[in-house]
Structure 1
Amino acid sequence: MKHSTKNLVAATLIAVCAAGTGWAQDTPKAGGTLVVALPGGTPRVLNPAVQSGTATGMPGSQLFASPLRYDEDWTPKPYLAKSWEVSDDGLKVTLHLQENATFHDGVPITSEDVAFSVDVIKKYHPFKSMFAPVESVDTPDEHTAVLNLTSPHPALMLAMSGQLMAIIPKHIYGDGQDPKNHPRNNQDVVGSGPFKLVEFKPGEHVILERYDGYWEEGLPYLDRIVARIINDSSARAIALQNGEIQLSTFEMEPTTINRLQSDENLTVTKEGYGGIGAIDWLAMNTTRGPLQDVRVRQAIAYAIDKNFILKALMRGTAVEAKTGIHPDSPLYNPEVEAYEVDLDKANALLDEAGFPLENGKRFELNIELPGFPGYKAQTEYIKAALSKVGIDVTVRAHPDFPTWARVMGNMEFDLSMDSVYNWGDPVIGVNRTYLSSNIGKGVWSNTQGYANARVDEILAAAATEMDAEKRKALYSEFQEIVAEEVPIYFINAVPQHSVYSNKVGNPPQGIWASSSPMDKIYLKD
């Protein structure tokens, strides 16, 4: 299978004009400074090869290029790799690099840098499944890299896009120092992407400017990107409305979103987050007390009014999620059991499970309140909802994220609200939560202690299945099983939104939001 594209800028403009979108009527122009809110607070590092998260993703995706990029329809497109082939058996992926691509210090980007980057990502990035099947990388010439796999890996295309596969310079990071703590991760960064680093002040901003040696002629359009660190959502809203910033992504606060939607100078959209794939859910520890019984877990699901959460608490900003795969994913199965609120059914299941109602009470459970904002209202509502079927819930609030994470990682909980990201393909961000091999104290993945031999079998098969329809069928079955056994009660896709000024052309609306290159964003007159 071979893929290539020529003159991507022209093709993109033609396609959008044909589609009749509003911004296509403006001719992209060069110049200007885009001021954005940096999502996620201060990045730990600016190098995505060794760090996940949206705080690193936004600046990291501008500083470092990946081999591929993805459109909003989940179609892979050329980027640093101008074309590629996948062998018929799926065991070799050959990347053909842009021949005039250079790092920000002018050194050519070669296949040796690709091979080096894969090694660093495999060793230091937290998402171990992304490149686990990649056994080696051959470099037959400077512009050809051949990834050799031990088994077919359908997640590899997505793993080579967005912030997930930063191509870093071997001549900088191959100096014997620890890449994860390398001094060039935050200062004097030598990247491979459309923008280079001017200044990084933790707690304040990251300033980037266009790299004049970028391989795509005429790009990037912007002269500068100033990414301001504004942790308070109300402060970001004010900055958007008064024009101090022109773009903010990963906005999730319902009040803020609804407030900004009424501003005629701004566009608010939930599009562009399918790859990130964040989902809110109620985690249930299947190894403890009454929660070991599937009927109890089903009863809890029937006792919760999801529509109340979506409409009253999320104020219409979120969409329902019925499974652990994000609703925007082509692998999502919307036909699974939705557990519409039914207190009679919940009570009958609890009776059947051997927990009779005595003096208005059946048993006690704890629910953890995470040590970060956003879940207090949902947690208090769940406590009240479960009391209606005789489950006495105690809320245990945590002062910070590490305290809550320790309790979850050690499986010392009954219930907890949580949000987990898909990161493009289920192999990367979904499977980890359900594989029985990931059960273990101190392991931050299958904290529910969920084990099902058929689920393990399905996930193993889907991880190597290259036929798209067969793979979708496997994941559909997986979602049906998990919906029935309820180790997790899925509630909603996290209401991540992008907000941008009407002066911003071609805002980031692929599947990675601002964790994707901004080389085609421009400012209108």
Structure 2
Amino acid sequence: MKLMTRLMGAAAIAVGSLASTPAFAEGGTLVIASTQVPRHLNGAVQSGIATAVPSTQIFASPLRYDENWEPQPYLAKSWDISEDGLSVTLNLVDNATFHDGKPVTSEDVAFSIMTTKENHPFKSMFAPVESIETPDAHTAVIKLSQPHPALLLALSPALAPVLPKHVFGDGQDAKSHPANSAPVGSGPFMLDEFKAGEVIVLKKNPNFFLEGRPKLDEIIVRIIKDPSALLIAMENGEADIYPFMAGSQEIRRLEKADHLAITDQGYAAVGPINWLAFNTASEKLKDVRVRQAIAYATDRDFITKALHRGVSKQQRSPIIESSPFFDETIPAYDTDLDKAKALMAEAGYADGMDLTIDYIPGPKEQQQSVAEYLKSQLKKIGINLTVRAAPDFPTWAGRVGGHDFELTMDVVFNWGDPVIGVHRTYLSSNIRKGVIWSNTQQYANAKVDELLNAAAVEQDADKRKALYAEFQQIVAQDVPIYWINSLPYHTAYDKKLKNVPTGIWGTMHPMDMVEWSE
């Protein structure tokens, strides 16, 4: 087993004060490097990478997915879907226990799905779930108001953690429950320490219901806000895996480290899109011609080839271009400054206007650099753009979720099926003030609502594709968002690691099979 760096308490987390000691325990330690700062660790009420990576280690889910998009048993050893698509029966394993020793039952599964439905920002994910019957301790029958082709995917680790009802069902608000930061789950690892913004320490669950797993004794998630320090930690072997790496300089630099491997696998279900969002309720931006003008003034080719050094791929749709539901005929808004100026004049802004743009702090190349580029580019069509920085992610999320913005850069995931990750951005019913990654654009179009609601229940793949094609054409005309590029996510990891998570959810998947080769 390799000699590896361990973190010994909070003081060791600060850059420049790393403590190291040999890890002699069989199984060893995996150190994950991350710039993402989770507010808490409960993926049932919070979306995003920062929460999902630890949450999927702490909590088990009904199903898990393989690299071929096929559902596999997890807490549910088998499942049955009724012919009419209105009932899904989960047959649970009988040997799963929570970290406190209490058995996992159908009551926990039912409680968890309904809690997620009521509190998760992905409102469409479990919207058709009407009730869940629990005829016995190991059978949960999900009753649907309509067929839900995305349900099985929604029951996988990144989206459906099973919570202990005896902990979270005490009447306290799920979003602010104290157990969110000290969770009890039934997954392969148990929480040992959580210092917000610094470190998450997970210990092996000795009573995990899958025999012989997990292989590791410990997972440490190190929050390293300084990108340079993070790269040094990877190069020096102080960290073992760096997932969700999107910077071109980072990718190129770590490719040169002999002990590291780099892969772009593990993000198939993520579908990450980098985009410019408009607050369509803003007095200046409610006119579609202004939004179209900004789209025509923005040069995707320059952004992906120059700013992103060729590692990003252009994205011109709300549905990731690698998806079978992507419509290739969607208008691209190729750069046309003359057309942009004409649209501004038509909208009554021939003399220009002032606007403010926000961006997510942290991933500079994908966010801040594009915002600063837009400041100079939009000046060409008379828009004086002020770039407004946020000191941290919660500040940015508060502004955007609170609809206190005009333009913002953003990164939003498709999450496998459009019902889960696309609908939430465009359904008028999902305009939810205070909830980030909902319909924060306040976009409302009755036809779009109709199309998305129809696609959500259509079980025929070709018919679903046709519905999504029409949807894409409409939102391309309305431009509530200007889609720029797909994020070039890569994972860097120590070559001695085995079974590195490169399935459709990557590290947002239980790492119970990850182990060291020596």
Which of 140, 149, 153 does residue 144 from structure 2 map onto?
Answer: 149
Alignment of 1:207-356 (within 5 A): 207-288=201-282, 291-350=285-344, 356=350
Q: Is the Cα–Cα contact under 8 Å of residues 296 and 353 in structure 1 kept in the other structure?
A: yes
Alignment of 1:50-69 (within 5 A): 50-69=45-64
Q: Is the Cα–Cα contact under 8 Å of residues 354 and 385 in structure 2 kept in the other structure?
A: yes
Q: Is the Cα–Cα contact under 8 Å of residues 336 and 483 in structure 1 kept in the other structure?
A: yes
Cα 1:310/1:472, change in 2 over 3 Å: same
Give the TM-score normalised by structure 1: 0.85
Which of 479, 483, 507 does residue 476 from structure 2 map onto?
Answer: 483
Select between 368-377 and 401-410 the one with higher mean Cα deviation. 401-410
Partner residue in 1 for 2:465: 472
How many residues are matched?
Answer: 489
In structure 1, the gaps of 5 or more residues are 1-29, 357-361
1:62-116 CA-partner distances (Å, limit 9, x unpaired): 1111111122332222221121111111110111112322222333322122112
Partner residue in 2 for 1:23: none
Give the TM-score normalised by structure 2: 0.86
Which of 110, 114, 118 does residue 109 from structure 2 map onto?
Answer: 114
Which of 410, 413, 429 does residue 437 from structure 1 map onto?
Answer: 429
Which of 87, 90, 94 does residue 89 from structure 2 map onto?
Answer: 94
Alignment of 1:180-199 (within 5 A): 180-187=175-182, 189-199=183-193
Letter in structure 1 aligned against 2:30: L
Q: How far apart, CA to CA, are the structure 2 residues paired with 1:39 and 1:410? A: 24
Q: How far apart, CA to CA, are the structure 2 residues paired with 1:404 and 1:387? A: 24
Report the 3-state secondary structure (helix = DSSP H, G, I; strand = E; otherwise coil) of the residue aligned with 2:314: coil
Q: How far apart, CA to CA, are the structure 2 residues paired with 1:442 and 1:176? A: 22
Letter in structure 1 aligned against 2:299: D
Select between 509-518 and 297-306 the one with higher mean Cα deviation. 297-306
Letter in structure 1 aligned against 2:29: T
Partner residue in 2 for 1:173: 168
Cα 1:36/1:411, change in 2 over 3 Å: closer
Which of 391, 396, 403 does residue 383 from structure 2 map onto?
Answer: 391
Report the 3-state secondary structure (helix = DSSP H, G, I; strand = E; otherwise coil) of the residue aligned with 1:206: strand
Which of 140, 154, 161 does residue 156 from structure 2 map onto?
Answer: 161
Report the 3-state secondary structure (helix = DSSP H, G, I; strand = E; otherwise coil) of the residue aligned with 1:123: helix
Q: Is the Cα–Cα contact under 8 Å of residues 47 and 186 in structure 1 kept in the other structure?
A: yes
Cα 1:332/1:509, change in 2 over 3 Å: farther
Partner residue in 1 for 2:36: 40
How many Å apart are 1:440 and its aligned residue? 7.1
Q: How far apart, CA to CA, are the structure 2 residues paired with 1:170 and 1:354? A: 57
Q: How far apart, CA to CA, are the structure 2 residues paired with 1:232 and 1:38? A: 10
Q: How far apart, CA to CA, are the structure 1 residues paired with 2:394 and 2:97? A: 40
Partner residue in 1 for 2:14: none
Report the 3-state secondary structure (helix = DSSP H, G, I; strand = E; otherwise coil) of the residue aligned with 2:269: coil
Percent identity for Structure 1 against Structure 2: 56
Report the 3-state secondary structure (helix = DSSP H, G, I; strand = E; otherwise coil) of the residue aligned with 2:353: strand
1:279-330 CA-partner distances (Å, limit 9, x unpaired): 2111223344564443443332222211111122122232221112233434
Letter in structure 2 aligned against 1:311: K
Select between 366-375 and 468-477 the one with higher mean Cα deviation. 366-375
Letter in structure 1 aligned against 2:310: G
Q: How far apart, CA to CA, are the structure 2 residues paired with 1:48 and 1:488? A: 26
Q: How far apart, CA to CA, are the structure 2 residues paired with 1:313 and 1:90? A: 47
Q: CA RMSD in A?
A: 2.6
In structure 2, the gaps of 5 or more residues are 1-25
Q: Is the Cα–Cα contact under 8 Å of residues 275 and 409 in structure 2 kept in the other structure?
A: yes
Letter in structure 2 aligned against 1:391: I
Q: How far apart, CA to CA, are the structure 1 residues paired with 2:98 and 2:273? A: 36
Q: How far apart, CA to CA, are the structure 1 residues paired with 2:441 and 2:195? A: 39
Cα 1:169/1:350, change in 2 over 3 Å: closer
Q: Is the Cα–Cα contact under 8 Å of residues 39 and 58 in structure 1 kept in the other structure?
A: no
Letter in structure 2 aligned against 1:502: K
1:469-514 CA-partner distances (Å, limit 9, x unpaired): 2212211221122123322110012333221111111211122221
Report the 3-state secondary structure (helix = DSSP H, G, I; strand = E; otherwise coil) of the residue aligned with 2:142: strand
Q: How far apart, CA to CA, are the structure 2 residues paired with 1:108 and 1:480? A: 49
1:414-466 CA-partner distances (Å, limit 9, x unpaired): 43222223333322332222223345765653333433222111011112222
1:220-252 CA-partner distances (Å, limit 9, x unpaired): 222222222222221111111111111111223
Report the 3-state secondary structure (helix = DSSP H, G, I; strand = E; otherwise coil) of the residue aligned with 1:388: helix
Cα 1:451/1:178, change in 2 over 3 Å: closer
Cα 1:353/1:226, change in 2 over 3 Å: closer
Select between 145-154 and 204-213 the one with higher mean Cα deviation. 204-213
Letter in structure 1 aligned against 2:151: L
Q: Is the Cα–Cα contact under 8 Å of residues 39 and 54 in structure 1 kept in the other structure?
A: no
Letter in structure 2 aligned against 1:306: R
Report the 3-state secondary structure (helix = DSSP H, G, I; strand = E; otherwise coil) of the residue aligned with 1:191: coil
Which of 494, 501, 509 does residue 501 from structure 1 map onto?
Answer: 494
